[in-house]
Amino acid sequence: MALLINGIVDSYRVNILAAYDALIREGRIPDCFTIKERLENPGGTTRLFLAEFVKYCEKRQQEVGTRITQVTANKYHRLLRYMTEYTQAQYQKEDLPLDTTSLSTG
């Protein structure tokens, strides 16, 4: 019985360490809440700020000629470029998760 229980505990330990490592690789702070979230939703995707803004820019680009002008669409793309440069300079990361607990100016 003890071997069975120890096997279960070892399995939990491996899952916790894997979640911790994944959060570190994503640039998130691996606290108990984010680890628990990862364990409860292992296949869940983390929404990223710049990735979401890229989708928004593409959506606005498709509205050129009907709702906005190309000049306005260019402004959105320029803002995306500036935000990408700022994110890399300030956070040394390619993108930021849309989770306010993971942001730090380090």
The domain segmentation of the chain, as residue ranges, is: 1-46, 47-99
Q: What is the pTM of this model?
A: 0.56
DSSP for residue 106: -
Cβ atoms of 29 and 97 within 8 Å: the answer is no
Structural tokens at position 9: 């505990």
Task: Give 52-96 pLDDT, tens digit per residue.
Answer: 899 999 999 999 999 999 999 999 999 999 999 999 999 888 888
Cβ atoms of 16 and 39 within 8 Å: the answer is yes
CA dist 8 and 37 (Å) reads 20
Q: What is the largest CA-CA distance in the chain?
A: 71
Cβ atoms of 48 and 84 within 8 Å: the answer is no
Specify the pLDDT at position 48: 83
